[in-house]
Amino acid sequence: MKVLVIGSGGREHVLCWKIAQSPLLTKLYAAPGNAGISEMAECHDIKVEDIQGLCDFAKKEKIDLTVVGPESPLVEGIVDLFEKEGLKIFGPCKAAARLEGSKAFAKDVMNKFSVPTARYEVFSNVNEAKHYVIETEMPVVIKADGLAAGKGVVICESSQDAVNTLTQMMSDGAFGESGRKVVVEQLLEGEELSVLALCDGEKIIPLASSQDHKRAYEHDRGPNTGGMGAYSPCPQYSDVQLAEIVEKVIRPIVKGLGSEGIIYRGILYAGIMITREGPFVLEYNCRFGDPEAQAILPRLKSDLLAVMNEIASANLTTQSLEWHDKACMAVVLASGGYPGHYKKGVPIHGLPAAEAKRENAFVFHAGTTKNENGQIVTSGGRILVAAGLGDNLRGARENAYQLIEKINCEGTFYRRDIGGRALEVYR
């Protein structure tokens, strides 16, 4: 099979890495890819937003399967376009991708199909929103309705914080059109859990559990980011508990949308808060998590390409996935200033030693490129991910941090407490 992977981040690198292991693969392409992906795939400089250009490329190269990494082309309708042209593609259609493209839509769908979620209100008028937050109980969470690269969620401890956030989002355009409408919801407390499942519109196959770390700094301080690290599996939850959560938060959405003629094919990601009252959905994403994918996929023994091809063919015959009996931890190296302003073009040193072939640690590139001299330099806020495998979380953690310490890039930072709470509870 000739396969095209769309995207340029760490999620796309681990997808390419996993797909490259499949005996079904004959040639791997990426658009636009990054410095790490270019070592295993033929990269073409086509922007992820250029869905017509991507479609034309897939037709020209006779691509057998296209795998969409990021959310923006899915929300723009790349699956609908490819399928109209008779091209096989892995990902949900535009109507289904609204689960990520509009938080207000997602909350309404959760309510409609009885999926537990926090109390919320939706506002398009900034003055009405400010009046609401002044009158309501604090703290609250304010979410930009549209796509914001994982950064459009703000926890507000006071009414003044909430008013300032609403001004930034709705009046000042901090997130452009994505923030013109907002969701204001009750803050939930508990333990976060990422639940991902492969879906063909009817059948559902859960992936291994994982936990993301959204805050920029250690001890969950600082602004929300696209994710600073993840680990898998979550020892807090058994396979039985995970299956129960899937039945509460994944199946009702797939079945409910299907009853309205919206067939969900692809990966469905539910961000969960486990509260004293049980699991509540924080958000849905319509693609693999990043960096959850870098913590989950190294543990996967099954052929991912074969399963994705079955789903894209609307014929999921695989019943379950096989997993290595290992834990994995993924730690993000980020540019100084991320998720705010940061420098680009900073040389990255130590990669040859870090990327030397080993069985228990891997480097997945995210925001990297090659300069005119062929040197690998930074091109994004999240630069790369160091992933470690181990017999348990402690071993995985040691391997991940030993790996990231081999890499030197001026002005960067990473969290040193990824998986810390799980290790404190499960010694």
pLDDT tens readout for residues 153-207: 999 999 999 999 999 999 999 999 999 999 999 999 988 899 999 999 999 999 9
At 360-377, the pLDDT tens digits run: 999 999 999 999 999 999
* Partners of 328 in beta bridges: 232, 389
Supply the pLDDT for residue 72: 97
Burial of 218 per CB tally in 10 Å (0-12, 13-18, 19+): middle
Host H or E run for residue 54:
helix 51-61
Q: Which domains does the chain carry? A: 2-93 (3.40.50.20), 125-180 (3.30.1490.20), 191-312 (3.30.470.20), 327-425 (3.90.600.10)
Residue with tokens 């958000």: 283
**Strand intervals (E) in 315-411:** 327-335, 361-365, 368-370, 376-378, 382-390
**Per-residue pLDDT at 236:** 83
Helix, strand, coil percentages (3-state) for the chain, rounded to 5, are: 35, 30, 40
Using one digit for the tens of pLDDT, what is the confidence trace for 135-153?
999 999 999 999 987 778 9
CB 302 within 8 Å of CB 316: no
pLDDT for res 425: 66
* pLDDT for res 169: 96
Q: What is the DSSP string of 189-244?
A: -SEEEEEEEEEESS-EEEPPPBEE--EEETTTEEEE-S-SEEEES-TTS-HHHHHH
Q: How far apart are CA 2 and CA 63, in angstroms?
A: 5
* Closest among 145, 155, 147 to 220, alpha carbons compared: 155
44 phi/psi in degrees, rounded to 5: -130, 135
Residue 421 pLDDT:
81
Judged against a pLDDT cut of 60, whether residue 427 lies above it is answered with: no
What pLDDT shows up at residue 127?
97
In this prediction, residue 415 has a pLDDT band, given cuts at 50, 70 and 90, of: very high
Q: Is 308 helix (H, G, I), strand (E, B) or coil?
A: helix
Task: Please provide the average confidence, as pLDDT, over all residues in the chain.
Answer: 95
Q: Is 426 helix (H, G, I), strand (E, B) or coil?
A: coil
Q: Are strands 327-335 and 221-224 parallel, antiparallel or unpaired?
A: unpaired
**pLDDT level of residue 252 (50, 70, 90 thresholds):** very high
pLDDT at 262 over 80: yes
Q: What is the pLDDT of residue 196?
A: 96
pLDDT at residue 424 is higher than 80: no
